[in-house]
Every structure is written in C-alpha cells, then in structure tokens.
Structure 1
Amino acid sequence: MKSRWTRFSTFFEKYALILHIPLAMLLVLVNESLSRHSLIEGLGFITNHPGPFLYNSYIIYVILLLVFLSPRRLFMRLVMMAIVILFGIINCIILNNRVTPFGFTDFAMVGDLLTMQNTKYFTAQQAGICLIAILIFVFLMVMLHMHGKKQKVRSKLWVRILTCAIGFASLFPVTKICQKTGVVQTYFGNLAQGYLDNGYAYGFAMSVAGRGMNQPTGYSAKSVENIVEDTSKGKSKMGKVKPNVIVVLLESCFDVNEYPALSYNKDPIPYFHKLEKNYSTGHLTVPVVGAGTCNTEFEMLTGMSCKFFGPGEYPQKTVLKKRDCESTADVIKKLGYGTHVVHNNGGNFYSRANAFSKMGFDTFTSKELLDITDYTPLNTWPTDDILVGATKDALDSTKGPDYCYTITVGTHGDYPKEKVIENPKIKVKVKGVSEERQNQWEYYCNMLNNMDRFLKEYTAMLSKRGEPTLLICFGDHLPTMGLQNKDVKQKDIYQTKYITWNNFGMKKKDQDLTAYQLVSTYFDRLGIHGGTVVDYNQTMTERGISGKSQKYLKNLQMLQYDLLYGKRYAYHGIDMYPPSDLVMGIRPVKIDRIYSYDNQLHIYGENFTPWSKVYVNGEKVNTTYESGQVLTINSKGVSNGAHIVVNQMGSNNTIFRSSNEFELKLAAEDQQ
C-alpha cells in the first residue's frame, strides 16, 4: 500500500503542472455543487456554462501555482485545496440562511456572525461542529508538516517564482478578454444569480477587485462645477404647509398581477391596488433582483446609482464606512424637518447604524429598541405591525414636519418549499412549476396579504394624526422565486412598483422612475430643492431625459465619484453634509425599581426589549427578558451599592442605548 502511494505521489509531483488542471476543475465542481446544494446541479454548471467553468478553473489553477514555491508540496497543496473548499462550504452555509452568496464584504460582518451563535441562524451545535472540524484540520496539517517529506525540487527558485508571477499577471488580460467577449459578466443585478451564472471563484474575486468606482474620464474641478451650475435648482419653494414625507420600503413586494402564470382565489393586496388607482404610482427600476435590499435603499436615499460599482458592492458596508454621504435626509433637514429611520431588523445589519449617521439622519429605531414578540409563520422575521406604532413615536418626537424612512421585513425570503400554512387565506395556482415552488408562492402571497393589512393600518395611523403627509411606498426587489424577464408582464425583472398616498390634495401623476429618481422627483413636486444629486436628478427628469440613458448616467457618475471618492469639487473644499450624531430609538429605557425574590433580581422599568442586557458595575450579566417592563438576573454576587444599567445591545456587542444608572438598595431581609 505504501509503495503504491509512493509511486502515485512521485508520478503526481512529476506531472503536477499538468495534473493541476483536472484538480482545479474538480475543485470548481465541488464549490459549484456546494453553491447549489446539489452535485447534479453542479455538473449542470459545466454543461450550461462551459465558458465560466473553464475560466473559474483557470483562476483556481493559477492559485495552485503557489504550491510550487514550497518544498513541502503535498502539505501546501492540501492547504490550498482546503482553503478553496472552505470558502465553498462557508458560501453553502450562508446560502442556507440568506439568499445572497458569501463575498469579500462579508468579512466586515464577521461580528454579526459571531453574535448569531446559539440562535435559529447559527445554533450551538453548528458552532461546536465547526470548531471541532477546524481543530481536526489544523491538527492534521500540523502533523503533516512535521512528518511529511520534502520533495526534491529540480527547478530553481527564481524559475518557480517567475512562473507564479506570470500566472497571476495573466489573470488580468484573460479576465478582460472573458468580460469583453461575454464569457463572464461585469455587473450582477441579482448577486445570487450572478454567482451561479459566472461561477463562485469569479464572483468572489470580483467582490474583491470590483470594489469602489473608477475615476471617470474627464474628471476635473471644471467638469464637476459645470454640471452643478447647469442643474442647480436654487432655493426650495414650498408653500406655507410643509407636509411630512414618509418613505416605506416594502420588502420583496411584487404585484403578483404582473405574473400571468399565477392565479389566486382572492386579491392578496387589495389595499395596495386601491392606492394605485387613486394616487400617483408607477414602475420603479431597481438595481437588484431577489436580494440586495441595501443597494435599492442606497439609491433611493442618496439619488446615486449602484451601476457604477462592481459586482457584490454594498456601498453602505464599504465607502460609507470611510466617508459621509449627501442624502435626501440632508437636503430636507435644512428646511427644519426631523429625520428618522424605523426598522424591525438589526441596527448593524448592512452597517445601517453607521450608514444612516453618514447620511445625516437624526434617529434610528431598530429592532433592538422595539419590544418585538410576534414573528412570521416560519419564526424567521418579525411581523411588520410593530412599525406602525414605532413610526408614530418617531413623528410625535418632534414639533415640526418629519421625513421618515420605514423598512419592513415581513415578506422577506427565503420561502418554504413545504406547506406551512394549513388553511391559507390566499390560495394560489401557478402554471408550469413544481409543488415546492407552488408552496413557496402560496406562502409568499399570504405574507403579501399581511403586508397589505399593515399598509392599511399604517396609512390609517398617518391619517388620524391629522398632519399633511405624503407617503411613498416601493418594492425593493422581486422575491427570490427564479423569475425571468419572460415570466412578467413588464418583461423586466428589475422593475417593481411604487405607490403613494397623501391627504392634502396632491394630484395623481403616474410615471415610471428609477430608484435614484424616486424621492428627488417627489421632492420636486413639493418644491424641495438643494443638494448636488437631488438637484441633478430633478433637472434631468424635468428635461425629459430617461434616467437609464447614457446622457443621464454619464454626469451622474461624475458627481457620484466626486462626492464619494474624489476631491469634492462640488463642495469647493467644504464638507457640506457631515455625519449626524445619530440617536438610537425614541423612547427612553428606564429602570424604576428592583425587587429580590428566590435568588433572582427582578428589574422593573420601561421600554425593555428582548435585546435588553443588564450590566452590573460595568459587567454584562446573563439577562432573562420577561416583558417590556421586567428583566430578571441572578442575584448571586450582587450586593447593595451595585450600579445597575440596562443596555440595548446590537450585534458585535454594540450598545445602542442605555438606561439610567440605578444604585441597588435592598432591604436587609432581601439581601443574599
């Protein structure tokens, strides 16, 4: 047996430069199978996308050239193979819990992953298995390195270094050729589909190399100043009434009437269609399909386009970590508006707390500040009804008019392939799909119906407040159902819908827009101007220039580069829109009293949530959430005079908000 292995090892090392070709192909097949959770579908990648398969194999082959730099080639080869497969496994696990694949920007969210342990997303058992697997692998690699034989290397070191250098240098021209000939794409509107069509190795590589923006041709102070002067709208010209402006992102909202293959027993979104009939509406072109909410969000809030970034870029997780960003919130704040965000998901997800500060918002009420107890049938996402009261709190917190951005999650994917709702209100039939897909559509349509009821309650709340208000609601992307252009009436899966409502007589005016035009256009109708990009979008839209035309995008790209990466010629060297001192939440967290019973300290107060954690003398202790008014901790070791604080905790141990400091004073009989 040993002699056979020795002969095989000798043969492999002798022809390793050639044998790495099938090895690279095998590694690509493994990773593509992991991406699809199916070996059969992995093999389908080879037959359906032969060009991307060969190109991805070439990427892996070049990476394997590093093996020849080490005298311990077997050890090095196994390490390189393990790293490649490890990335595939991570991607496989992530795709089980969300719809977007693993990319370079996810390294910025490692803290979020660590805080997910022992939850429905990342259980303690899974964490234990991962840790044991890593320890076993490390042990085996250490033993192999210690006891493995060094290979006799015939070629000189400089030759091997030169070979590796040529291999890696060739990646750039080969990639450019493949991109220009259409073998691989340069922009992924649907990130998940982009990885599947172009291969995981290329997708991940583009998430590393395709970040940020390239400097546009002709970028200069004069070119930027000319654009700004040509599109300036001057001062705002609002009337005496300054209406509230409320923008609501409806997660994965799709008007299923535009999917001819689907039929149902009753309209899932009757109130949506009522608003569509009576108020301004239109189709909205968004930058993503199936996932990538924060990119549609970025376009809507800033008026900028994600088309200028590389595949997999999330500007809120990259450039906004380093630089503030002019937004619609900045523009409207100058008119005395309070600016708020309300969302029933994590404050750090998509780096939102940081991003909303960089965009100039005053407050952000995330799930950590909400007493969330109700979830969707899969128990994966909070229901959206809690956003009605949370938005009202935000609007009531200021005396003047408000600009509020609300983000829902109730219709978020992934959707179950098995039947979950026993007696669904909305029953559907879909032509030409599997039973699993049928179940997904039925679940989705019932979640849409919940969203429609939320929308009705939300509008009723705004109406009862009696303040002039403009409401703009839009779908951020189509749901993750594998829809193609041929399946939808518009023949464009990058189009969702937006609808509006108002109580001050704004005339109905239907028009199709892009996400980066949406808020600017309605600001224009209200007489709100100001801001480099807002004015640009308003002027170009008024001139009747298509938001998707090259003429429109060319100068938008120039302004966007200048503000995000350039020298900010538009501002003449002044930071006109610095970050805000963002306040998390509206309602104060308060400790009223502490009661001792049965070795437990029961902390009574106000506005506690499942994300409330008790700190004793600055140290976090195990906390049990009982209700919005009661938290419980173990009283052992906690004596009179201890200083107790309740902190609202986000991922990565971020403290979003703190209560008053309470000094413990128990009666003698209550002390442990």
Structure 2
Amino acid sequence: MKKFFSIIKEKLFTRVEKQHSEAYLRRISFLNKYSLLFHMLISCGIVFIVEVLSRRSFLSAGSFVGMHTGAFFYNAFIVFASLSFVYLFRRRAFWRIIISGFWVLLGIINGCILSNRVTPFGFTDLKCINDLFAMNNTNYFTAEEATIVVIGLGLFLLFCVALFIKGPRYQGKTHKIVVVGAIVSVLFVGLPVTTSAAQNANVVASYFSNIAQGYENYGFIYGFSSSVVDRGMSKPDDYSEQKIASIEKNVNDTKKETTVTKKNAPNIICILLESFCDPDEIKFLNYNQDPIPTFHNLEKNYTSGYLTVPVVGAGTANTEFEVLSGMSMQYFGTGEYPYKTILKKTDCESTAADLASIGYGTHAVHNNGGNFYSRVNAFSMMGFDTFTSKELMNIQSYTPNGSWATDDILVPETIKTLDSTPNQPDFTYTITVGTHGDYPKTPVIANPVYTVSGVDDEEKKNQWTYYINQLNEVDTFMNDLITELSKRDEDTIVVAFGDHLPTMGLEDSDMKSGDIYKTKYVTWNNMGLKKQDADLYAYQLMASITDSTGIHEGTILNYHQTQMNNTDHTAYLDGLDNLQYDILYGNRYCYDGKDKYPATDIVMGIDDVTVSETSDSIGGSEVFVYGNNFTKWSKVFVNDEKVNTTFSNSGCLIIPKDSVKDGDTIKVCQMGSNSTIFRESNTYTYKDPAVEETVTGTESDSNTESTVSESQK
C-alpha cells in the first residue's frame, strides 16, 4: 500500500519537464497567438452547454440559440469577460478549466433546481443553502443526488489539482500592466456598455416580471449574473424628502380615522395556503367530486377574488413579504428574497407592527422549521410578538409522501394564540404546508377519495391525484378552524390566500385566469361584513382587509387604502416605490428620520416548557425527564451541555444515565436547525436515587422506588 501511494505521489506531484514535439509546440504557439478567438469559441460552447443543462433539453437549447441569438451571444460575452482573467497567470489551461467548470456547475445546479420547482437558480438561493439541507425527506435533494454531486466535485477537484501540477504553463512574456488594464476595461467599460446597449435594443431585459420566463428568454448566465449585481432596491429618480412629504400629504388628505378600539377591534386571522390552487381554474383537469367545498362556499358567500402574486412554483417568502409588508417585489433585484437580505439588518413596518400600535397581540404559526427563510429573524423585524414553529408543536402525523406535517395541528395552535391574550385583539398569521411539493409520480395514497381525469401521462395523473387529495386536507383544516372560531364570542375576520401555484408545469394557457401568477383569496367573518369581491395584488391584500374592518393605520396600509384605486396607476406605483425605498434603504423621511417600528424580542411558542421531576429507569441505564410541552425537537441539556435525548411523549424525555450525575442541572431546550435554541425550560436539579439511598438508607430507597413506579405508570 505504501508503495502504491508513493507511486501516485511521484506521478502526480513530481513535475517532469517533458520534451514535446515541434508539431505540439506549434499548436500551442498557434493557440496562444489566437487565444482571444479561442476564448470566443469556448464561451459560445459553455453557454450552449449551460443552456442544455438548465433546460434539460438539447432541442430547447438549440431553440434558444435560434430564437434569441442576440441574447445567446451576450451570454457568451459575459463568459468571455470572465475568461480574460486567465491572462494574469501562466497556468492558463488550469484557469480556463476552473472558470469553465464554474459556469457549467451553475448550469447543473439550475437544471437540478428546475426539475423540482419553476423558479430558476439565483444568487439569493445561496443564502438558503442551510435551510435546504435542514429539510430532510424532500425532493429538493436526495441522499443519492448529494452523493453524486460530492463525488463529481471531488473528481473535478482532483483533476484540477493534477492539471495545476502537471499542466502546461505559458512561457512567453507577461505584460501584467497591459493585461490588468485590458481586464479592467472589459469588466468596467465593455460589460456595462454592452449590457446597456443590449437592454436598449431589447436583446435582454433589465427587469424580469416573470423570472422563469426571463431566464428562458435571455439565458441563464445573464439571469444569474443579474441576480448577483442587481440586489436590493435602486434609488428612485425622484426620491427626496419633498417627494415623500408630497405622498404623505395626498394620503392624509383622503385617509379615514380608525373606528375600532382595543376593546372592540376584531381578531384578524391571515392564512397562507402553501401551493394552493383552485382545481376549477385548471382547464384540462377533471375530478370525481369537489375536493375544496369549504373554500368554494367561502368564495360564494364572502369577499373573495384573484390575487396576483410575485412568484410561481416556489418563493413562498416573497408572496409572504408582499402580503405582510404591503411592499412590492418588482422593485427588488432579480430573484431576491428580502427575508434573506435587507431584513437581516433592517426592521420593517408590516401589518403586524401597525396593528400592534393599536393594541393587538401579533402571532405567527407555521408547521415547518422556524429558521427556514430566516423567518424567526424576519418576523422579529416585522413586529411579531410570538412565533410558533414546528419545533414548538407536538406533531404526530405527516403527509402521505412523508415530507411535511399535516395541517390539522394548526387549528389548536392558532386558537392558542387567541387564548394567550384574553384582554386584547389578535392578529395571527398562519402558514400551512400540507400541499407543498414534491408530488409523487407513483401512487402513495391507497384508494384515494378524489380521482382525476384529463391527464394522459400516468405520472402526471398520479401527481394530480395526490395534489387534489392534499387540497382536501387543507380544505378540512379551514373548515375545522372556522368551526372553532365560530364558537368564540369575539368578532373575527379570516383571510386565506394561495401563495403560488404548485410546481406542476402549468402554463398561462392552462388557467382560466390566463395567468399563472394569479391565485385566489377568500374571507370569512362573523361580523356581517358586506361581500365586496375584488381582484388584488398580494401587496394590497391586508390594506383591503383592514379597511373593511375600520382600521386605518400605518404608512403603507394607509397608502394603499387611499391610493390603490387611483386612475393614474403609474403615479400609484411610483409612490409605492418611493415609500418602500424610504423605509428600507432611505432616510425614513416618512418617520421623521426615526426608527418607528423597531424589531421585537420575539417569543418562540405560546406554552411554557417545564421540567417537573426525574426518575431512573428500573435497569438504571436511563433517566426519565418529566414535564410539559415537550416535542420531537426537545433536547435535554445537562449543565448547559446538550446530551443524547429520546422523545417519548409530550410529557417525557429519556437520556442516558451516564450523561448526568447527582447535583447536575437539567433543562430542556426546543431546538431549531443550526443548533438554534428557540425556547428553554426552567432549571431542575437532578438527584441521583443511588446517592440518596446511601445517605438516607432503606426508607428513602423505598420512597424512591414508589415514585419511579408511579411515574412509569
């Protein structure tokens, strides 16, 4: 074995000056002389390969070249500019491979992502890597896919190491000043000028109203590059203190006064329905019976309408951001998630913050991980008091594909938020997850109640069958929640909306609305509110709901309430652009320069987690920790160090006996991903029965056995 490794080391890491033939040297000299032409050809090849990988189709990539030739060559110019860096080094072949491999790797990633969702890969997705790897048993990635990626990257890196050591080196004279000047010219003059010219000629677009369509029309490399350089919000051309003052004057001249008080304000329940689509909206889909009767009943009897959302197939957090903040995603960079960028460091006015200012308790409830999309931080920045994520729930049942908690758990958890504040109204934002993809291509539901037709492909038929049966589970959740709310002697209004259509390859022509960016919203109330149907944008939804209940608070809410019906739609959007820039990136002129809505010290969960007693197992190898409100995400800490913990039930956890000794302190922590502690119990001092027996004798031992026996019962 030692001999084998020594041979490998000698072959791989020992440089040998090899004598090449004259023909080889002439070829190298030719390639060096015409390397720019060589780079042009490589760039075109890389773009084509990346498009094949992204589209998962050779013909589709060929169609892109034929139908969007200008965009194809512009993408090639971006790659060509990146290849100019090789002239800084003598190992030019090595750096060509590194740069080429980088673009191809991005294409592979995009192709994998587009096989599971509609939204293509963007720079902000890199900020969600930890979230994705925290989501086990989903189709975002599998163990096999992860293994293939790791092996592929390993082999590529090994090849690069060998090339770095054994590969050719440029032997001519390097004029570094000239090279650096040329690279700077290409990057900081050539690229901007070419980009501006391409945008002005409509070869590529500066803004994608439809990100997926933008990537398809203008190429992945341009789309991804846009997501890197075009982040945050651009300062509006007319932004100034005077502009904000003018907007506020227009609002103040027409706004109404809030007519409710803390004593008579209604509870407001806002429900995000994950990947929810009314199947009646899909032209080709037929089914044996209505899977969402509750939704259709609400649609018939209460205010409802279409909701235009900023994403399709994925990107829940961006629809959520629009609904809660009243701000539009169209003013942000390509593929951006504000939760992962600006809200990491800047607080943000939201419906929660506005309602809190008039005495509301504000809560979020979601049966998925608290750290996903950085929601814990985002909800704090948006003014929520509490957030009950899955880590604080005693979840017992999962969807048939095994990926997600069922939504029935959200009924008691939502009701808990209302019970937690008996002397004030509540705003509760509840997020479902039961209809989240992926949708199995093979049958996973035995004897499904709801069956489909109109789909010829057997795998697609299985997916739609699964989906509409899950829609019925969501519909049942809505019915159960409204039933519970009806029992309460409190004025309440509910609004439920779909965040985006499911990842099922739907196109505009498939939808009765003619737009895959349109979902639906419905409402319910026990206040006798008049049915007033309206089609809205997601950022207008909560302004409409609060307006109907006599609540007229906040900068953005009041802006929409007074200006959304302005006949000059351009002026309306310009005002919104200025206001949200002022709040998130500007000088906050609308707040007189103050931090009017500071982040909250958000509390995770409603119920206290408590430790009440401990006892040793009969065999003495384990310790039972008893208490209240334990979940599968509860971990025992001994002297502030986490120990192996087994969840038994909501009142009992089990730890190894050798992890604790007499006098140690015990507490239970509710753990999120990345070892985040969401909530802690009280501290309890462990008393070892064996030590007590030694000190107090037989009587004490008898009492301990009795206690253990009773506890184990």
Q: Do the structures match in fold with TM over 0.5?
A: yes
In structure 2, do the counterparts of structure 1 residues 560 and 276 end up closer, same or farther at CA, with 3 Å as the change threshold?
A: same
Equivalent residue for 1:166? Answer: 185
Give unpaired runs (5+ residues) of structure 2.
1-17, 694-713
Instruction: Provide the rounded CA distance (Å) in 2 between the counterparts of 1:130 and 1:215.
Output: 40
Q: Give the letter aligned to residue 668 of structure 1.
A: A
Q: Greater shift after overlay, 37-46 or 468-477? A: 37-46
* Cα shift at 1:34: 3.0
Q: TM-score, normalised by structure 2?
A: 0.88
Q: Contact conserved, 1:245 with 1:402, CA < 8 A, in 2?
A: yes
Instruction: Provide the rounded CA distance (Å) in 2 between the counterparts of 1:104 and 1:157.
Output: 31
In structure 2, do the counterparts of structure 1 residues 426 and 39 end up closer, same or farther at CA, with 3 Å as the change threshold?
A: same
Instruction: Provide the rounded CA distance (Å) in 1 between the counterparts of 2:614 and 2:207.
Output: 56
2:552 maps to which of 511, 514, 529: 529
Equivalent residue for 1:354? Answer: 377
The answer to whether the aligner puts 1:454 opposite 2:477 as a matched pair is: yes
* Cα shift at 1:593: 2.4
Q: Give the letter aligned to residue 426 of structure 2.
A: D
* Cα shift at 1:27: 2.2
Question: In the TM superposition, what are the counterparts of 1:193-592 in structure 2 within 5 Å?
Answer: 193-232=213-252, 233=255, 235-238=257-260, 241-399=264-422, 400-430=424-454, 434-541=457-564, 544-545=565-566, 549-592=569-612
Q: Contact conserved, 2:638 with 2:659, CA < 8 A, in 1?
A: no
Instruction: Provide the rounded CA distance (Å) in 2 between the counterparts of 1:622 and 1:561.
Output: 48
Equivalent residue for 2:658? Answer: 636
In structure 2, do the counterparts of structure 1 residues 531 and 137 end up closer, same or farther at CA, with 3 Å as the change threshold?
A: same
Equivalent residue for 2:636? Answer: 614
Q: Contact conserved, 1:35 with 1:196, CA < 8 A, in 2?
A: no
Q: Give the letter aligned to residue 331 of structure 2.
A: F
* Cα shift at 1:633: 2.7
Instruction: Provide the rounded CA distance (Å) in 2 between the counterparts of 1:51 and 1:371.
Output: 56
Instruction: Provide the rounded CA distance (Å) in 1 between the counterparts of 2:639 and 2:146.
Output: 30
Q: Greater shift after overlay, 180-189 or 252-261? A: 180-189
Instruction: Provide the rounded CA distance (Å) in 2 between the counterparts of 1:7 and 1:415.
Output: 57
Equivalent residue for 2:12? Answer: none
Q: Give the letter aligned to residue 569 of structure 1.
A: Y
* Cα shift at 1:208: 1.2
* Cα shift at 1:132: 5.2
Instruction: Provide the rounded CA distance (Å) in 2 between the counterparts of 1:623 and 1:190.
Output: 46
Give unpaired runs (5+ residues) of structure 1.
none
1:82 maps to which of 101, 107, 119: 101
Instruction: Provide the rounded CA distance (Å) in 2 between the counterparts of 1:123 and 1:623.
Output: 26
Give the SS at the match of 2:407. coil
Instruction: Provide the rounded CA distance (Å) in 2 between the counterparts of 1:73 and 1:577.
Output: 54
Instruction: Provide the rounded CA distance (Å) in 2 between the counterparts of 1:633 and 1:135.
Output: 39
Q: Give the letter aligned to residue 88 of structure 1.
A: G
* Cα shift at 1:134: 4.5
The answer to whether the aligner puts 1:29 opposite 2:53 as a matched pair is: no
In structure 2, do the counterparts of structure 1 residues 119 and 314 end up closer, same or farther at CA, with 3 Å as the change threshold?
A: closer
Q: Greater shift after overlay, 278-287 or 619-628? A: 619-628
Q: Greater shift after overlay, 225-234 or 316-325? A: 225-234
Instruction: Provide the rounded CA distance (Å) in 1 between the counterparts of 2:44 and 2:557.
Output: 49
In structure 2, do the counterparts of structure 1 residues 440 and 384 end up closer, same or farther at CA, with 3 Å as the change threshold?
A: same
Instruction: Provide the rounded CA distance (Å) in 2 between the counterparts of 1:349 and 1:667.
Output: 42
Instruction: Provide the rounded CA distance (Å) in 2 between the counterparts of 1:491 and 1:72.
Output: 54
Q: Greater shift after overlay, 112-121 or 377-386? A: 112-121
Instruction: Provide the rounded CA distance (Å) in 1 between the counterparts of 2:351 and 2:115.
Output: 35
Instruction: Provide the rounded CA distance (Å) in 2 between the counterparts of 1:108 and 1:472.
Output: 31
In structure 2, do the counterparts of structure 1 residues 273 and 55 end up closer, same or farther at CA, with 3 Å as the change threshold?
A: same
Instruction: Provide the rounded CA distance (Å) in 2 between the counterparts of 1:301 and 1:101.
Output: 24
Q: Greater shift after overlay, 486-495 or 381-390? A: 486-495
* Cα shift at 1:268: 1.7
In structure 2, do the counterparts of structure 1 residues 420 and 180 end up closer, same or farther at CA, with 3 Å as the change threshold?
A: farther
The answer to whether the aligner puts 1:18 opposite 2:18 as a matched pair is: no
Equivalent residue for 1:55? Answer: 74
Cα shift readout 1:148-198 (whole Å, capped 9, x = no counterpart): 342123452223223322322322222233333333333344544543443
The answer to whether the aligner puts 1:144 opposite 2:163 as a matched pair is: yes
Equivalent residue for 1:600? Answer: 622
Instruction: Provide the rounded CA distance (Å) in 1 between the counterparts of 2:215 and 2:288.
Output: 37
Equivalent residue for 2:5? Answer: none
Give the SS at the match of 1:602. strand
Q: Contact conserved, 1:475 with 1:497, CA < 8 A, in 2?
A: yes
* Cα shift at 1:10: 4.8
Question: In the TM superposition, what are the counterparts of 1:171-186 in structure 2 within 5 Å?
Answer: 171-186=191-206
Q: TM-score, normalised by structure 1?
A: 0.93
Give the SS at the match of 1:160. helix
In structure 2, do the counterparts of structure 1 residues 200 and 636 end up closer, same or farther at CA, with 3 Å as the change threshold?
A: farther
Give the SS at the match of 1:380. coil
* Cα shift at 1:535: 0.8
Equivalent residue for 1:663? Answer: 685
Q: Contact conserved, 2:136 with 2:403, CA < 8 A, in 1?
A: no
* Cα shift at 1:274: 0.6
* Cα shift at 1:329: 1.0
In structure 2, do the counterparts of structure 1 residues 236 and 143 end up closer, same or farther at CA, with 3 Å as the change threshold?
A: same
Equivalent residue for 2:8? Answer: none
Report runs of 4+ in structure 1 exceeding 6 Å deviation: 4-7, 117-120
Q: Contact conserved, 1:588 with 1:607, CA < 8 A, in 2?
A: yes
What RMSD, in angstroms, separates the aligned Cα atoms of the two structures?
Answer: 2.6
* Cα shift at 1:98: 5.3
Q: Give the letter aligned to residue 583 of structure 1.
A: V
Give the SS at the match of 1:178. helix
Instruction: Provide the rounded CA distance (Å) in 1 between the counterparts of 2:161 and 2:247.
Output: 61
* Cα shift at 1:617: 1.9
In structure 2, do the counterparts of structure 1 residues 425 and 184 end up closer, same or farther at CA, with 3 Å as the change threshold?
A: farther
* Cα shift at 1:75: 1.5
* Cα shift at 1:123: 6.0
Q: Contact conserved, 1:118 with 1:124, CA < 8 A, in 2?
A: no
* Cα shift at 1:42: 4.3
Instruction: Provide the rounded CA distance (Å) in 1 between the counterparts of 2:54 and 2:537.
Output: 31
* Cα shift at 1:95: 4.6
Q: Give the letter aligned to residue 420 of structure 2.
A: S
In structure 2, do the counterparts of structure 1 residues 221 and 335 end up closer, same or farther at CA, with 3 Å as the change threshold?
A: same
Q: Greater shift after overlay, 323-332 or 127-136? A: 127-136
Equivalent residue for 1:109? Answer: 128
Q: Contact conserved, 2:137 with 2:402, CA < 8 A, in 1?
A: no
Instruction: Provide the rounded CA distance (Å) in 1 between the counterparts of 2:108 and 2:340.
Output: 23
Cα shift readout 1:177-235 (whole Å, capped 9, x = no counterpart): 33333333333445445434432212221111111111112211111012112202364
Instruction: Provide the rounded CA distance (Å) in 1 between the counterparts of 2:166 and 2:592.
Output: 64
Q: Contact conserved, 1:283 with 1:513, CA < 8 A, in 2?
A: yes
Instruction: Provide the rounded CA distance (Å) in 1 between the counterparts of 2:192 and 2:647.
Output: 54
In structure 2, do the counterparts of structure 1 residues 48 and 373 end up closer, same or farther at CA, with 3 Å as the change threshold?
A: farther
